[in-house]
Amino acid sequence: MYKPKKPIFVPWIHPTENNLALARDLQAEAEKREVWFVPDVQHARWSWFELENFCASSYPAKPLIRVPEISPNLIVQALQCGARGLMIPQVKSAEEAKTVSRYAFFPPLGKRSKGGLRFDNRYGLMPDSQYFEEAQSILILLQIEDIEAIPAIDEIMSIEGIGGLFIGVEDLTLSDKSYGEGNKLITWDQPIVWEAAELMERAAKKYGKIWGMPITEELYKQKILNKYQKAFFFTVGVNQIGLDAATKMNKG
């Protein structure tokens, strides 16, 4: 299981007509320092073919692929595209977290099936020793996006193989009916977000894991997150704008 040593800021990636140019920008930045990005397979129009090409073209940048749901097929497809991590939406229980871990890892931790010639094993060119080492060191972030999941945060965080949790800010505030309440444009202002953050911070310290959330550069400058020692993974924007912001914040 991968554990970042310091906070990292990453762009959210949607497919565009300039996919190759964006992939090359990610690749160029990744040749200087560690770079992650989050392709969203749930809300964006990625095909697996497009996504695998993007991951290959942006290598050694690290894709943390957001799949639409807990599914063995979707999880293994994302991993075979070359994912170095997974983001799983709408996780509400420890049992669902165990299911993710089972689908994502090879034995003895899980029951992932080994595929054929895909980018995860460099189309057959990667030695098995390196392949299995990389496969067992992925980062899995489960999204807390519903108030039903709040009481289960500690137990979800405890599951072996799960690297941490990620707050789905908009869906979480929609679920407790506080989205936009008080004419607030920034949904981070809602109490449910910071309730989840407090519980995640406590659980992350307890189990030696991390948590994260989407954020803006302006909000981060307010130092709201200074008291949290385990908030290590932040998405900061979409495509080139997101990459530019992430690059700037990772240097800061």
Query: pLDDT tens, 175-215?
Result: 999 988 775 556 778 899 999 999 999 999 999 999 999 99
Count of domains observed in the chain: 1
Burial class (CB in 10 A: 0-12, 13-18, 19+), 191: exposed
1 inside domain: no
Determine the pLDDT at residue 185. Answer: 55
Measured in residues, the chain has a length of 252
89 inside domain: yes
2 inside domain: no
Determine the pLDDT at residue 223. Answer: 80
Beta carbons of 205 and 227 less than 8 angstroms apart: no
Determine the pLDDT at residue 111. Answer: 95
Q: In the predicted model, what is the mean pLDDT of the chain?
A: 94
Determine the pLDDT at residue 126. Answer: 94
Give dist(CA 56, CA 191) in Å, integer. 41
Residue by residue, DSSP assigns 136-161 as TT-EEEEEE-SGGGGGGHHHHHTSTT
Determine the pLDDT at residue 183. Answer: 54
Output the pTM of the full model: 0.95
Beta carbons of 161 and 190 less than 8 angstroms apart: no
Catalytic residues: 43
117 inside domain: yes
Alpha helices in 59-190 (DSSP H): 72-80, 94-104, 128-135, 153-157, 169-175
Q: Which residue stretches of the chain have pLDDT < 50?
A: none
Range of the domain at 19: 8-251
Phi, psi of 14 (to 5 degrees): -115, 150
Determine the pLDDT at residue 1. Answer: 81
3 inside domain: no
Q: Which residue has the tokens 């599914």?
A: 71
CATH number at residue 229: 3.20.20.60
